[in-house]
């Protein structure tokens, strides 16, 4: 099915999700036959659901490529490997491209240039892997219905094979099994496919990852401070029962230092900024007000557990005038 029918029922129950899954499995088997299909599996909701569907439909004929660009959150590459390779027995190629990305990004402080490098490098790494593989005829993608609507309305370019070099793009036929679904429906289907809750319900995460939360030129130590503080923030939000209740929350470590005192000695370290926001349409955003005891715990843990941080700040700015991300 190429387009979402106007009268299509919203998939919002396990029964409806199961019916969708059964139908997709037959369609995927009919389309793919005994051929192989390639998928860039980031571990985000859409690509994870596509992977789980294809594993059910064609098993080992699916080849997943997970590119670790070094800008993922703590534990993400490990979770992709655990869920897909260990538990679902997927054919998964893990590409450690951390040095390749961070070397290219070294000294680059312009936000647009950083995004551009991350996007281009991702395509290059994926294309390199695709060229190594023989006999693959299909390319699967986690395109969803809003992507198609937005690209038709000229709001954003549909992230399809368009980004791949011609010698790669022309080799494949596209497989887009969730393209008639809205995001909430993709989550219902993912749950029915048995994906872990923290994968299916995860908060939005930008394509350039933690790169946009390490403003200015990325250094490995400051990037690590972003990753560690983000992990603490997520853990504390989960402990406080806020997981799934606050739309998006993350940390930013800006490129300036201030004086502090640690163990009776002067320190000169970065601040860590916490941002926690709510929205329905991402055009306008309000700030979540955190309980005082949670703030105290976050300050305590981040300043003691994250090397290089001596202050914790809270961003109280809605959108507009600020945007959600810092770059």
Are 62 and 48 in contact by the 8 Å Cβ rule? The answer is no
Nearer to ligand XMP, 116 or 131 (CB): 116
Q: Which two tokens stand for residue 213?
A: 């939360």
With respect to ligand XMP, which residue has the nearer C-beta, 204 or 308?
204
Strands 136-140 and 36-40, by their bridges, are parallel
Asked if residue 319 binds ligand XMP (CB under 6 A), the reply is yes
Stretch that binds ligand XMP, among 5-13, 229-237, 262-270, 316-324 (CB under 6 A): 316-324
- What does the alpha-carbon distance between residue 323 and residue 96 come to, in Å, rounded to a whole number? 31
Nearby residues of 327 by Cβ (< 8 Å), 6 or more positions away: 111, 114, 115, 211, 212, 215
Q: Is 248 among the residues that bind ligand XMP (CB under 6 A)?
A: yes
Q: How far apart are CA 213 and CA 327, in angstroms?
A: 7
Which residues make Cβ contacts (< 8 Å) with residue 280, sequence separation at least 6? none
Q: How far apart are CA 188 and CA 45, in angstroms?
A: 11
CB of 80 to ligand XMP, least distance (A): 17
Residues 149-208 binding ligand XMP (CB under 6 A) are: 204, 206-208
Distance of closest approach, residue 283 Cβ to ligand XMP, in angstroms: 8
Specify whether the CB–CB gap between 189 and 17 falls below 8 A: yes
Site for ligand XMP in 255-284 (CB under 6 A): 282
Block residue for tokens 């979770």: 79
Q: Which is nearer to ligand XMP, 56 or 114 (CB)?
A: 114
For the record, the structure tokens of 322 come out as 């600020």
Interface pattern 204-243 for ligand XMP (x via CB under 6 A): x-xxx-----------------------------------
- As given in the structure block, the two tokens for residue 116 are 């551009």
Q: Decide: is 288 part of the binding site for ligand XMP (CB under 6 A).
A: no
Closest contact distance (angstroms) between CB of 135 and ligand XMP is: 32
**Size of the residue set binding ligand XMP (CB under 6 A):** 10
Q: Please identify, using beta-carbon distances, which residue of 133 and 155 lies nearer to ligand XMP.
A: 155
Q: Which helix (H) or strand (E) holds 262?
A: strand 258-262
Least spacing, CB of residue 184 vs ligand XMP, in Å: 16
Shorter beta-carbon distance to ligand XMP: residue 58 or 285: 285
Residues in a beta bridge with 312: 272
Distance in Å, CB of 319 to ligand XMP, minimum: 5
Q: Which of residues 102-121 bind ligand XMP (CB under 6 A)?
A: none
Q: Which C-beta is closer to ligand XMP: that of 204 or that of 254? A: 204
Enter the tokens of residue 5.
């029918």
CA distances in angstroms from 106 to 67, 102, 222, 254, listed in the order given: 19, 6, 12, 16
Q: Please state the closest distance from residue 51 (CB atom) to ligand XMP, in A.
A: 18
Residue (177 or 209) nearer to ligand XMP, CB: 209
Residues that bind ligand XMP (CB under 6 A): 204, 206-208, 248, 282, 319, 323-325
């Amino acid at each position: 099915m190429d387009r979402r029918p106007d009268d299509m029922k919203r998939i919002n129950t396990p029964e409806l999700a199961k019916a969708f899954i059964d139908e997709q499995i037959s369609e995927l088997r009919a389309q793919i036959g005994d051929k192989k299909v390639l998928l860039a599996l980031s571990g985000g909701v859409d690509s994870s659901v596509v992977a789980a569907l294809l594993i059910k439909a064609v098993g080992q004929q699916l080849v997943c490529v997970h590119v670790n660009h070094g800008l993922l959150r703590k534990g993400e590459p490990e979770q992709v490997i655990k869920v897909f390779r260990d538990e679902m027995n997927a054919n998964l190629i893990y590409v450690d491209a951390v040095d390749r990305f961070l070397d290219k990004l070294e000294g680059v402080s312009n936000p647009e240039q950083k995004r551009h490098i991350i996007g281009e490098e991702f395509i290059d790494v994926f294309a390199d892997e695709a060229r190594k593989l023989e006999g693959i005829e299909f390319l699967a993608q986690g395109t969803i219905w809003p992507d198609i609507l937005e690209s038709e309305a000229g709001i954003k370019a549909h992230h399809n094979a368009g980004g791949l070099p011609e010698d790669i793009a022309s080799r494949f036929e596209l497989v887009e099994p969730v393209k008639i679904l809205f995001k909430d429906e993709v989550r219902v289907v993912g749950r029915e496919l048995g994906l872990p809750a923290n994968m299916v319900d995860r908060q939005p995460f930008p394509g350039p990852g933690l790169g946009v939360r390490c403003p200015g030129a990325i250094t490995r130590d400051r990037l690590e401070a972003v990753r560690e503080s983000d992990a603490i923030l997520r853990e504390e939000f989960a402990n406080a029962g806020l997981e799934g209740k606050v739309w998006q929350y993350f940390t930013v470590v800006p490129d300036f230092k201030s004086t502090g005192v640690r163990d009776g000695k002067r320190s000169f370290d970065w601040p860590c900024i916490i941002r926690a926001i709510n929205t329905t349409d991402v055009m306008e955003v309000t700030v979540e007000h955190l309980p005082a005891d949670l703030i105290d715990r976050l300050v305590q843990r981040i300043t003691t557990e994250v090397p290089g941080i001596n202050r914790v700040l809270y961003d109280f700015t809605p959108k507009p005038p600020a945007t959600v991300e810092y770059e």
